[in-house]
Structure formats: structure tokens, C-alpha cells
Structure 1
Amino acid sequence: MRSFNRSRHMCEWDDFHTREAFVRERLRDLDGEPIPPFWLLSEPGVSGREHRASSDIWMRKRLALAAVEKERLAFDFPAGETGKIRLGYLSNDFHDHATALLLVETLEAHDRSRFEVHAYSYGKDDGREMRRRLACAFDHFHDISSNSDNEAARRINDDGIHILIDLKGFTQNTRTSILALRPAPVQVNYLGYPGTLGAELCDYIISDSFVTPDSAAEDYAETFALLPHCYQPHGRKVLIDPAPDRASAGLPIEGFVFCCFNQAFKLTPGIFDIWCRLLDAVPASVLWLLGSSAAEGNLRNEALKRGIAASRLIFAPDLPQSRHLARLQLADLVLDTAPYGAHTTASDALWAGVPLITWPGETFASRVAGSLLSAIGLPELIVDCEDDYFERALALASNPNSLAGLRSKLAFNRLTTPLFDVEAYTAALEKLYLEMWSRRRAGSPLTTLRLPAARPEATRPAP
């Protein structure tokens, strides 16, 4: 099973064609070793319904074990209290991490007259500026890293948290076992995991109508809570330094720069085929990828198999966020992966002013970049099929005036459209929280929560 995951991180694709059959076999074998749901997000051909089945299978034994402790803890939730709603954000990533970078301005923007905001952190304190900033962004920052699941659940319940918001899902070092104990009356799946957590963990999943259209409701155990534009937060306080020169970033002085900074496990042979066709069709172009010591050699070999010189793949080292955003401006066009597309890397690109082409599928993980592009007013960069993906990228790479016009439009839209308007975003998120708690207090059944999009004049440029 470990080799199944390792081969994706290393871009070892010799047996890639056998993976879909292996996945379906594991989903049918309820008594065998289940595949971690996160691994399936990047597997082509896996449907939304199968993602839900995978999550249910993964949690089945864990929920059974938690049921005994849940009964013994016997948490109760007084429904009559009024006053501030107590929000609890549960995560391992309250440090210099992609989730924190996306969410920090929203946390800082919460209305303290209506909400009391708690962090429940079971991750490391890396001692860096983001950790200190996050500690200040909450009214109460609780380090539960040394607590058992039962102790952590008791603490959350003793603090009277009304809405517990999980920011991890099935990502690395998660503790969904805390959610399984049900320490809060309302539990929410938000931001950290692009898919369902299966039955019994969370009441709602915060999303938007592009990422999770109504037709996908049966693919989720949670009830939809839909924000009016894009579910992903991102503010406008992140400053971007001037771009370095191309040579210092390891790029050639001339030539078109196709870029994808998604992690190597998201790459597939099919997507790589298209990228190599683009390199072949655009003379002197290069493909700028995120560096990966495990995958670089294999990717160079895969390029050679497709008739592309290995030197046309440029690998970028890991850099702090500020330096990364500065160099990202050197890219001409970002190419998304499928079926697990760009999420934070997509918002990074758009904030840095670089257009992005995406090809959404039917799953949450495949549709995030499309949601971002819709919210920033660039639907023309969302394509319907493989042929359109190639043709749109080739057209932009071959027509400097069209690309310049698109970049100019993006430069204007990033400060005037809803995508990076953190105040409006946070207000909408809070409306969802208020509705969740109102319905819980009234004893109303779960139902899709949907906020209307703001009128165009309601969006404002940054001061």
C-alpha cells in the first residue's frame, strides 16, 4: 500500500494504468486494508460517490472505537444560552503553513462583538512570525498537542464551543478522532480537506456552488453551507516584492514560461502529455515546476520519452512565501493539474498576477481553481476538456497581445472583484455560522445553507 502512495510522489508512472483497477478492488473489499481517502483525490477516474465511500470505509472502525468513549463522556449541549457564539478552530497547522496563510486575515477580521474565537492547536510551534500572528488572531489559543483525544474533547466541551471547525480532514497528522467524540453541538468541515469526511463527523461542509453544485450533494455526508463566491479565503494584505531577474530564478533570459507549482503527486501522465505537447509547439518555452528531489529525475526521463529535452524542465527550490510570490511573477501562464488541481497555489498565482488555466472535473479537489477564476472574473480560463486545455494554453502562448490583455484584466480584477475581499468574505462566513447556530438552537433539521452573491457595487477596491 505504501508503494501506491510513494510512486505518485516520485512520478513513477510505469504501472499507472493499473491504479484505477486497484482502487476499485480496495473499495469493494470492506474487510481489507482501506486506502487513505486523501490518496484517492489525485487518482483519475475516481468519482465523487467513490470518494464518499472511501471516507466512510476509512472511518468505519474508527467511529466504532470512538462510540464507547463518546457514550462514556456523555457531552451535553445547553441550547438556551444567548450572547456571543463561540467558534473553535481545530488544526495541526497553526504555523507557517498553506492553510494558515489563507485563513489568517479572516481570523483577524472576525466580528468580536458577535463571536468569541478559539484555536485548538495540536501542531508544533515553529517559533516563526506566522505562529505569533495566529496566536494574536484568536481570543483564546489552546495548545492541545499533549492532550489525549478524550482530554482534548473534554476541553472543547468545557469551553462551551458552539461550532467546532475542523481545518484538517484527512490531511497529514490529522486527529479526526477528536471530531468522532462529538465535543461540540455543531461540527464543520472547512478549508483543509477538499472532500467529504464521511458519516457522523461533521454536520456541514463550507463550500461554494461552483466547487459543490447541487447535483453533487449525494457525494457528501455533510450538508452544504455555500458561500456566495469562492469558499477559499485570502486577503489583500500580502505584499509582493518586485520580481527578481529570470537568471537568478534559474530561468532562461528569453522564452515563454509555462508553470505549475503543484506538488509532484498531483501530476499524471495525461497532464504531462499535454504539457510536453505545449513545449513542442512553443519554441524556446520551458516548464517551471516545484522542485522535488524524489521526482525530478523521473520527470526528466518522462520528458525525454515524449521528445522533449530534459533541460526544458526547470525546477524551483522551496522558498519562504514572500520570495516565492516575488519569483512567481516571472511565470507567463500557470497550468493546472487534474483531477487534483491547484488550491493555494492557484490563489498564489492569481494574487501574483499570473493567469491560470484549469480543467475542472466533478470532484471538490478538481474544481477549486475554477471557483477562484469565477470569483475573480476570469471564466474564460476555465475549459471543458483536454483539447480545450491545450488549445487555450497554446493560443495564449502564441499571442503576446492576448496574454498581455488577460494579465491587465487580472491586475485590475484582483483588487476589485470578490476573490480577495476578506472583509466581505468574513462577513459571509459569519452569516453561515449564525445560521448554523440559529438552526441548531431551534432544533431545525440540517438543510443546505446558501448566501446570495453580493451586487457588483458591493465589491470595493482595496484602500
Structure 2
Amino acid sequence: MGDAILTPPTEQDVFLEKLVIIPHNYLANDCHQQIADIPLNRALYGLPESGFVFCCFNHNIKIEPTIFEVWMKILAAVPGSLLWLLNRVKMAEDNLQREAKKLGIDGERLIFAPPLPKAEHLARHRLADLFLDTYYYNAHTTGSDALVAGVPILTCPGRTFASRVGASLLTAAGLPELIAQNLQEYEKLAVELARSPTIVEQLKQKLVRSHTKVQQLKEKLAANKLTFPLFDTPRLARNIEKAYQKMWEIYTSGNSPQQIIINDTPS
């Protein structure tokens, strides 16, 4: 089960399974997530008082040399900027800072965030300006978290399912302009956004409006249409139910499995 970006119907031949194409985005999101209502300041989370904050809260194992080198080029092009990463393993922290120095970037410009309870983790996203997605294996849940917290994501899709998730999330969130066509464009766009904070704030406001729609779902207005289907959990559930029904109909008719494309059920 995928969506038209992750698993294009035209690529059915490269899959052993028959594809079931869900509208918008395949990844189920919890539209009732709580974001802690706490005072936020940079010092509390080990961030300097000034400078553009790039972040990536993906697992450290998703950070490989190709994207890391691009990130260091971005930091070099944006003086005073920093990269905020999730701290899972001390060895990884040391290795990343060492590799940054090899590429001409002070390792201290890599700030590492310790694990926190989910609600506070979502809240601290708001100290970041732009989420830089990893390349070969994109953000999945971490991408959804960033979007629901109001932080735009910059991604560059590849040829595999795992490398297209960011593009799928952004399309469903109404921000396709943050999908770079290649790593050169990814780097250029990241630098342009960092040098144009007004643009970033506009993107954040766009996400804040979508998050307001999510809050409406918390008030049990699940039947309302959402601006961005990414955050509409009941809508996804309805579409998946339609897929299951279609699968069952094919099976009970005695036919072999076949590709299924589900039309949207917004309400």
C-alpha cells in the first residue's frame, strides 16, 4: 500500500506485489497529537541566541556522506547558521562533528538534542527554522512531527520508496515548492530560504493554519474537510477501508490480485 508519489502506478512492473494506491499520503498521522504549551528559549535547548537554525531529527543512521556534505556546504554559505540534530548515540555525535571539521565547518555548529517526551519534543521544533531531510532514507514520522509542529521541510526525492516519503508528506501538506528536483537545487533552496527569513516565516504560517485544522479535529469535527489531507486521519481511514473492501471483492470473485487505485473520500 502506497501513494502515487511513493509507488507510482506506472512502476507496477518493478514490484512483486500488486500496488494499492491511496490518495495523498500513505502514512497515517495522529491528528490528536499534543504539543506542550511551554515557554521556549534557545538557551534552554543549548542553542545560541542568534543564527538560522537548520534541523534534522531523523535517526543518525539516515545521515550518510552524500547529504552530510551538502549540509556542510549549506552551513558554509550561511554564516552563523547551525544544524540541530537528534542525539541518540554519543559516538555518532563525535563522528559527525569530526566529519564536519574535515569539510571546513566548526563541529560546534552541530548542536545535539537529547530525547524528550513527545509533547515537549514537538514543542521545541518551533525553535527551528527549516528541517533538512535526509536523502536516501527520508523522514517518515519525524517529517510528520515537523510539519504538525509548524516547521517546513526541504526534501529531495530519489528513486526508492524510502527516498520519496518527504515529497509525499509535503505534497499532502500543501507545500510542494519545498521538493527539490536534485541535490544542487536542494542546496540552493536551503541557502535562499536561510537568507530570506520572511519567506520561511510565510511557510511556517502556512503550516500553522494547517495545524489549526488539526486542532479542530481534536474538537471532534472529524467530518470537516481539512486544508491539508496529511493531517486528516479519518479521511485516510476511509480511503484505506475502501481499499480493503476492493481487495475483498477481488478475492471473493475468484480473481487474482490486481492493482487498485482508490479515489479520494474527503468527507
Whether TM-score is above 0.5 comes out as yes
The structure having more radius of gyration, on CA atoms, is 1
Contact 2:74 2:191 in 1 (8 A): yes
Please give the alpha-carbon distance, in whole angstroms, between the structure 2 residues aligned to 1:305 and 1:242: 40
* Aligned pair partner of 1:315 in 79, 89, 112: 112
Please give the alpha-carbon distance, in whole angstroms, between the structure 2 residues aligned to 1:278 and 1:446: 47
Please give the alpha-carbon distance, in whole angstroms, between the structure 1 residues aligned to 2:115 and 2:193: 28
Please give the alpha-carbon distance, in whole angstroms, between the structure 1 residues aligned to 2:48 and 2:169: 30
Distance 1:242 1:394, change over 3 A: farther
Matched, 1:211 2:3: no
TM-score normalized by the length of structure 1 = 0.53
Shift of 1:305: 0.6
How do 1:50-129 residues align onto structure 2 when only pairs under 5 Å count?
none
Considering only aligned residues, what root-mean-square deviation do their CA atoms show, in Å?
Answer: 1.3
- Consecutive unaligned residues of structure 2, counting only runs of 5 or more, are 214-226
Please give the alpha-carbon distance, in whole angstroms, between the structure 2 residues aligned to 1:390 and 1:313: 18
Per-residue CA distance 1:65-111 (angstroms, 9 max, x = gap): xxxxxxxxxxxxxxxxxxxxxxxxxxxxxxxxxxxxxxxxxxxxxxx
* Aligned pair partner of 1:380 in 177, 181, 189: 177
Please give the alpha-carbon distance, in whole angstroms, between the structure 1 residues aligned to 2:210 and 2:189: 20
Please give the alpha-carbon distance, in whole angstroms, between the structure 2 residues aligned to 1:419 and 1:378: 11
Please give the alpha-carbon distance, in whole angstroms, between the structure 2 residues aligned to 1:423 and 1:298: 43
In structure 2, the residue corresponding to 1:218 is in which secondary structure? helix
TM-score normalized by the length of structure 2 = 0.91
Shift of 1:294: 2.3
Please give the alpha-carbon distance, in whole angstroms, between the structure 2 residues aligned to 1:393 and 1:417: 23
Q: Equivalent residue for 2:19? A: 224
Please give the alpha-carbon distance, in whole angstroms, between the structure 1 residues aligned to 2:124 and 2:14: 38
In the TM superposition, structure 1's runs of 4+ consecutive aligned residues that sit over 4 Å from their partners are none
Tell me how many residue pairs correspond in the alignment.
251
Please give the alpha-carbon distance, in whole angstroms, between the structure 2 residues aligned to 1:275 and 1:453: 37
How do 1:255-274 residues align onto structure 2 when only pairs under 5 Å count?
255-274=51-70
Q: Which amino acid counterpart does residue 258 of structure 1 have in structure 2? A: F
Per-residue CA distance 1:369-423 (angstroms, 9 max, x = gap): 1101011111000011011001111111100111111111122234221111111
Q: Equivalent residue for 2:233? A: 422
Q: Which has the higher contact order (CA 8 A, sep 6+)?
A: 2
Contact 2:18 2:258 in 1 (8 A): yes
Matched, 1:254 2:65: no
* Aligned pair partner of 2:260 in 432, 449, 454: 449
Matched, 1:439 2:234: no
Contact 2:239 2:264 in 1 (8 A): no
In structure 2, the residue corresponding to 1:289 is in which secondary structure? strand
Please give the alpha-carbon distance, in whole angstroms, between the structure 1 residues aligned to 2:74 and 2:26: 32
Matched, 1:240 2:35: yes
In structure 2, the residue corresponding to 1:259 is in which secondary structure? strand
% identity of equivalent residues = 45
Please give the alpha-carbon distance, in whole angstroms, between the structure 2 residues aligned to 1:422 and 1:343: 16
Matched, 1:406 2:217: no
- Consecutive unaligned residues of structure 1, counting only runs of 5 or more, are 1-205
Please give the alpha-carbon distance, in whole angstroms, between the structure 2 residues aligned to 1:432 and 1:324: 34
